[in-house]
Amino acid sequence: MSRVKALILFAVMGLAACQPSTPQLGPDGQPLPQLYRISNKDAAEIPGRVTEAINSLRAARGTAPLTLEPTLTQAAEVHSRDMARQNRAWHWGSDGSSPFDRASRAGFPGKVAGENISETYENETQTLSTWMADPETRDVILNPAATMMGFGWYQEPSGKIWWTLVTGHY
């Protein structure tokens, strides 16, 4: 008899696990963000996905596409790690460096057009959407003078992600 009860209990637990979960809501009534873990596969695909998304937005505005530039990406990655170490999203490095300084240190020979940063648990698409909703960060993405970009991130063990987008031109 105890085997039958155990089987019934496991069956009920299994069915309960199949039920769709109701998203938790924050005080604003909006669903709380879900933890987004960047897998190795995602890490390889994110730069291309972001570049494609940005170029679609730029095309809709009649602006030339951006190319992904390795030294700007390096500068963005360094800044994302540094923001995490400082535990604050801002444009200044812990050594007082600006976006211009970091791009130059990475070997970028051109001029930085702008930098967007974010501290979030959201994925890159949600982050890009948030940047597009704000006029200042949208202007960095759509700036017609920019011809290239770098995109980097750092994900803490807790799941928090520090995103950095740098745009530039020669």
Which residue segments constitute the domains of the chain, with CATH numbers given? 40-169 (3.40.33.10)
Beta partners for residue 40, in sequence order: none
Distance (Å, whole) CA 89 – CA 142 = 22
Element containing residue 121 per DSSP (H, E): none
- What is residue 92's predicted lDDT score, i.e. its pLDDT? 97
Is the pLDDT at 50 greater than 70? The verdict is yes
Average confidence (pLDDT) over 141-151: 98
- Cβ atoms 109, 169 nearer than 8 A: no
Write down the pTM of the prediction.
0.82
Average confidence (pLDDT) over 35-52: 96
